Amino acid sequence: MLNSSDDALAQLLVDDKVRGKSYLEISQKHGIPVDEVISILRDVYASTQIKDPNEYRALLQLRLEKIIDKLWDGLEQGSFKHGEAVIKAVTQLQELHDLNEKTIVHEINIISDAQATQIFEVLKKSNNALYGKVASLPLTAEAKTALAAWPEWTAEVATDAVEEVIYAEVVED
- CA angle 16-61-117, nearest 5°? 95
Q: What pLDDT digit, counting tens, does each position of 89-110 carry?
A: 888 877 777 654 555 455 555 6
Predicted pLDDT of residue 50: 66
Residues of the chain where predicted confidence (pLDDT) is lower than 50: 1-2, 100, 104, 173
Query: How far is residue 121's CA from residue 126's CA, in Å, rounded to a whole number?
Result: 8
Predicted pLDDT of residue 167: 63
Neighbours of 24 (CB within 10 A): 10
Predicted pLDDT of residue 26: 93
**Domain residue ranges of the chain, discontinuous segments joined by +:** 1-48, 52-172
Q: CA 36 → CA 6, 20, 29, distances in Å?
A: 12, 18, 13
- Nearest CA to 84 out of 57, 115, 127, 107 is that of 115
Predicted pLDDT of residue 51: 64
Predicted pLDDT of residue 28: 94
Mean pLDDT of the chain: 79
Predicted pLDDT of residue 1: 43
Please give the DSSP secondary-structure letter assigned to residue 111: S
